[in-house]
């Protein structure tokens, strides 16, 4: 490779990133200048077009539906596949109009979840939130940040630095802290101790060796242990809160808090308690998705990782016995 080629390649990538970022900001400004309804309609129409050509994600949606809801008929499967794409158009439009949607969010659902959050915090051990990619999960976090208080969410870094910084700043302006996916348990513990609620979306597939298998829709699903480990370490309860579209708004739907064992289990029993808690969290997500299948992100390969050889699973169990930082 000629001398200086890496530097030139890096400069080309940075230039391309800023061009894409400029296009995003222009589209953001344009869609922000029209009504929320108009922005939704435009982006949902674009999503319909994308669905005709993005066979990869259409196939993922259909595969997931066959796993989770094998009893539905073909017409229902086609409808849910189309809705899955249109939801992403709606999410994008609503993020652009987040300030007005947060300001106009219905009072009573947020008062109820705020009351539950306050009750769950009453023991003085902080609060964790179990959530999932349902309805406008981004707007759910922003509304929580404005209406209830600071909340930290785990954030997958976008491979476009200007766009990533812009979106993180947009969240931060609404009291939402973005934690990198590689964030340490220590960082999450610091936030909890400082009074920040930490929310974990627990419906994402984990790579081999990065999760444990629990049942979801009757099939093993590789799931992060982060939420269970944080709950056991701090004694903080986990409040299930899922976003649900209700008319023009995303409202919170909350369940009863899930408490960790007390006192803390000895190291020899920790792995089993982590598994039990993670299964309870996953079952709560499954219950919500069964009730509102049109509001979940079916385009993610939730069941991509499947169990390995027994010895690999045994090693993973030994690994999670230690609360890693």
Query: pTM for the complete prediction?
Result: 0.90
Query: Looking at residues 284-289, what average pLDDT do you find?
Result: 98
Please state, in angstroms and rounded to a whole number, the distance separating the CA atoms of residues 272 and 321: 9
Q: Tell me: pLDDT of 287 over 70.
A: yes
Does residue 215 sit in helix, strand or coil? strand
Q: How far is CA 278 from CA 20, 81, 130, 255, in A?
A: 39, 28, 10, 16
Contact 81, 200 (CB under 8 A): no
Q: What would the pLDDT profile of 12-69 be if each residue is shown by its tens digit?
A: 889 999 999 999 999 999 999 999 999 999 999 999 999 999 999 999 999 999 999 9
Q: Are 67 and 303 in contact (CB under 8 A)?
A: yes
Q: Where are the alpha helices (DSSP H) in the chain?
A: 5-32, 36-53, 55-68, 74-96, 98-103, 107-121, 137-147, 161-172, 185-193, 226-234, 267-291, 310-320
What pLDDT band is residue 242 in, cutting at 50, 70 and 90?
very high
Look at residue 319 and tell me whether its pLDDT is greater than 70: no
DSSP letters along 67-86, please? HH-TTS-HHHHHHHHHHHHH
pLDDT band at 4 (very low <50, low <70, confident <90, very high): low
pLDDT tens profile 120-138: 998 888 999 999 999 999 9
Question: Over 60: is that where the pLDDT of 318 sits?
Answer: no
Which residues, including other chains, have CB under 8 Å from residue 74's CB and lie 6 or more apart? none
């Amino acid at each position: 490779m000629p001398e200086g080629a890496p530097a030139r390649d890096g400069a080309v990538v940075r230039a391309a990133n800023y061009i894409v970022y400029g296009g995003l900001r222009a589209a953001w400004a344009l869609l922000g200048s029209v009504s929320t309804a108009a922005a939704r309609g435009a982006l949902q129409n674009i999503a319909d077009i994308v669905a005709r050509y993005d066979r990869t994600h259409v196939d993922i949606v259909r595969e997931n539906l066959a796993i989770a809801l094998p009893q539905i008929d073909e017409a229902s499967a086609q409808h849910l596949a189309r809705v899955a794409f249109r939801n992403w158009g709606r999410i994008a439009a609503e993020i652009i109009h987040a300030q007005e949607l947060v300001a106009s969010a219905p009072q009573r659902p947020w008062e109820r979840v705020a009351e539950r959050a306050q009750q769950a915090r009453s023991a003085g051990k902080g609060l964790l939130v179990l959530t999932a990619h349902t309805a406008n999960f981004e707007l759910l976090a922003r509304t929580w940040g404005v209406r209830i208080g600071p909340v930290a969410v785990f954030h997958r870094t976008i491979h476009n630095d200007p766009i990533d910084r812009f979106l993180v700043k947009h969240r931060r302006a609404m009291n939402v802290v973005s934690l990198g996916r590689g964030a340490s348990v220590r960082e999450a513990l610091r936030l909890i101790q400082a009074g920040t609620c930490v929310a974990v979306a627990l419906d994402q597939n984990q790579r081999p060796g990065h999760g444990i298998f629990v049942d979801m829709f009757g099939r093993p699903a590789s799931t992060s242990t982060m939420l269970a480990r944080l709950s056991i370490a701090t004694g903080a309860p986990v409040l299930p809160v899922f976003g649900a579209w209700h008319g023009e708004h995303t409202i919170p739907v909350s369940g009863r808090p899930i408490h960790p064992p007390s006192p803390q289990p000895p190291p020899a029993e920790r792995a089993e308690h982590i598994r039990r808690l993670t299964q309870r969290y996953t079952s709560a997500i499954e219950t919500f998705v069964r009730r509102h299948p049109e509001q979940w992100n079916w385009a993610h390969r939730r069941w991509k990782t499947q169990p390995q050889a027994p010895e690999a699973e045994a090693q993973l169990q030994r690994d999670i016995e230690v609360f890693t930082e």
